[in-house]
Chain A
Amino acid sequence: MEKMVPTFEVTNLSKVYGKCEQTKVKALKELSFKIMPGEFTAIVGPSGSGKSTLLNIMSGLDYPSEGMVHLAGQDISHMSGNELSDYRRDHIGFVFQAYNLIPVLTVKENVEYILQLQAVNANQRKKRVAQILEEVGLAGFEKRFPMEISGGQKQRVAVARAIVSNPDIVLADEPTANLDSKTGVELVAMMSKLNETHGTTFIFSTHDPTIMERSKRLIVLKDGQIVKDQ
């Protein structure tokens, strides 16, 4: 039987902020874990536990102080700025807490943006964007600007943007934090469905019990260390 390659492999990952001994803060302490393809994982923990730092490093937005992060077998901890840009573009989808859509682009253009960065041809882009917007329930909203839609719809656009390029993994930072509970539940259900139908790997940083309930795996962080992984 063929051995399954992990989507993410984090090995002895540490992150230290500050240079002076007195002010040094060790945000992450020798973390090691693997994320397998198709996982729907929540990283939970109190504020300051290191969730955001971990996601920053996994997504290539920040560099680790020690240790390695592999995505689909590729070490990203020593990549250059341009390599990391390309890596994020081709392998990672992002869903941010504050939606973070580009305000001057329409719903369709926001979703299409990443495909344009990947130089996908116009016909394929059009087809793919229409399909994704249909899946996230935003067909008919293509020409609206972010300021013309609700918070829940914005987050759906963000999810559509995150998955449109079929990334290896979607990293979502508190995706339901700015939504009311009903909209939050709907959004999580939608992402769960995408996980099941497309096999997209999702990692959440969250406090939201709905996400925790839906998650297939929970990684609990405390003071930069994994205290539970189930």
Chain B
Amino acid sequence: MLLIKLGLRNILRNKRRTILAALAISLGLTSLILTDGIMIGMSQSLVRLVTSSFLGHAQINAKNYRDAFEVDKSINNLAATTASLNNEKTIQSFALRTQTLAMLSSASNVSNIVLFGIQKEKEMGISMIKQSLLQGSLENLSDQGVIIGDQLAQKMEIGLGEKLIVTVAQVGTGELSQEMFKVEGIFSFNAKEMDRGIAFISLSSSQRLLNINNRVHSIILKFKNILDSSNLKSPFWKKYSAGGNEALSWRQISPGIDSMIEMGKYSTAIIAAILFLIVVLGIMNTIFMSLHERTFEFGVMRAIGSRPGKIILLILTETSLLGIFSIVIGVIFSLFSGKLLSMYGLDYTGIELGGVTMQEPLYFVYETSQFIIYPICIYFFTLISGIYPSIHAAKITLVDAMKKSL
């Protein structure tokens, strides 16, 4: 009790210094929590962008299909696979797609693109094609309709309702197959590669063009919880990577994004380490300044019978109280600034991160652990920073400390 009373009064005796030290610690804590929350927000935003725009949470393809996207590598045992997927509790929905290289010809230009055959109803629950449409509608996509990107439309000098020729090489024979399609939609994903280089037709049209009957190249999956799609240890992958097929998570399909998220975690750890170091040095400096002023006082306390351990305990009590005070302020700062950042975010729209163009601000994401782990770490480091000065104070030579008196 005496220690707490002494510690509290000591940290309040120089209020300005205490407030400055507490602000330094609390701002360190706030920075840490905000950095973590923003990094989580960025990761979630990137994953959402990558998976929900077009990629899906996961895909099932024929084994090695993704090495070269060869059109003759269609999914094996499609009927059994889809039947099994229908019974998967973790899967929310799935859609079938074909994919092939194609040549689009308009009256004024020619362009090589990747042509996807899609199930329009099922795509609405999986990808953002519908939401990306600037003109036309996905629901009304007919058997002879095509949806193209705005940049491709510009290049082809073509607009909604105009016609173009789609040429593909048929599977097996390699013979060219051509059909005329009407532009029934123009989209923009805000990603130049997609807006310039892909087009969509209905699944049945693509199967007809490619002469592959009911075969498809990909099953695009959407999980009920995205975390299930990120867990590479789940038995799901093994189950569907059989019979000549392979099931791949978005993490394997977009390893760049996955690496970036992992790198983000390291960045947070590095920032945390630097902030902890700053906090430790800052507190140590504050405590040493305080000790320097109070050397004589410690001398008196030791002279009248306080053991060195008592002095160590007193200084650790002071740093502990300073730490608690700072953590309370830091948590309040973090809650307040985190709330603002979770509402308004940081505007990164249009900036490319890991090959993905951000289409939404980066929002702060609250996690309970941020308000438990980081404050505990800060408290721990505050205490650590008090150890050296307290030992230093406990070891003072009494005669030197009290030169002015006895």
> What is the interface of chain A, defined by CB distance below 8 A to chain B?
52, 55-56, 59, 61-62, 81-82, 85-86, 88-90, 94, 96-98, 100, 102-105, 109, 113-114, 116-118, 161, 171, 173
Contacts and interface: CB of A to CB of B under 8 A. Distances in A.
Contacts of A116: 2
B312 to A, nearest CB: 12
A118 B307 CA distance: 11
B305 A114 contact: yes
B163 interface: no
Contacts of A113: 2, 304
Contacts of B405: 96-98, 100, 173
B227 interface: no
Interface in B298-322: 300-310
Which residue, of B2, B10, B300, B302, has the highest number of chain A Cβ atoms within 10 A? B300
B10 to A, nearest CB: 6
Contact of A96 (B2, B5, B300): B300
B308 A102 contact: no
Contacts of A82: 307-309
A117 B307 CA distance: 9
Interface string B366-406: 00000000000000000000000000000000110010111
Contacts of A100: 296-297, 300, 402, 405
B6 interface: yes
10 contacts: A52-B406, A82-B308, A85-B302, A86-B305, A88-B304, A89-B305, A100-B300, A102-B6, A102-B300, A113-B2
B292 interface: no
A116 B5 CA distance: 13
B13 interface: yes
Interface of B: 2, 5-6, 9-10, 13, 296-297, 300-310, 398-399, 402, 404-406
Given A100-B296, A171-B406, A173-B405, A62 B305 contact: no
B300 A85 contact: no
B305 A88 contact: yes
A66 to B, nearest CB: 17
Contacts of A171: 406
B13 A61 contact: no
A94 B302 CA distance: 11
Contacts of B2: 113, 116
A61 B297 contact: no
Nearest to B406: A173
Given A97-B405, A103-B297, A61 B303 contact: yes
Which residue, of A88, A97, A100, A173, has the highest number of chain B Cβ atoms within 10 A? A100
Contact of B398 (A52, A62, A103, A161): A62
A62 B10 CA distance: 28
A105 B1 CA distance: 13
Nearest to B395: A81
A103 B12 CA distance: 12
Which residue, of B302, B305, B307, B309, has the highest number of chain A Cβ atoms within 10 A? B305
Contact of B13 (A86, A98, A104, A117): A104
A90 B5 CA distance: 23
Contacts of A96: 300, 402, 405-406
B297 A102 contact: yes
Given A55-B406, A98-B404, A98-B405, A61 B306 contact: no
B90 to A, nearest CB: 62
Contacts of A89: 304-306
Given A56-B399, A113-B2, 5 more contacts: A61-B399, A89-B305, A89-B306, A100-B402, A105-B6
A214 to B, nearest CB: 21
Contacts of B6: 102, 104-105
B306 A117 contact: yes
Contacts of A90: 305
Contact of B301 (A59, A97, A102, A173): A102
A173 to B, nearest CB: 5
A60 B5 CA distance: 28
Given A100-B296, A102-B297, A103-B13, A85 B307 contact: yes
A98 B300 CA distance: 11
Nearest to B13: A104
Contacts of A109: 5
A56 B398 CA distance: 9
Contacts of B310: 117
B406 A59 contact: yes
Nearest to A62: B399
A196 B398 CA distance: 31
A116 B303 CA distance: 15
Contacts of B13: 103-104
A146 to B, nearest CB: 11
Contacts of A103: 13, 297
Given A104-B10, A104-B13, A117 B406 contact: no
B398 A61 contact: yes
B309 to A, nearest CB: 8
A109 B405 CA distance: 22
Contacts of A56: 399, 406
Given A104-B6, A116-B2, A85 B305 contact: yes
Contacts of B297: 100, 102-103
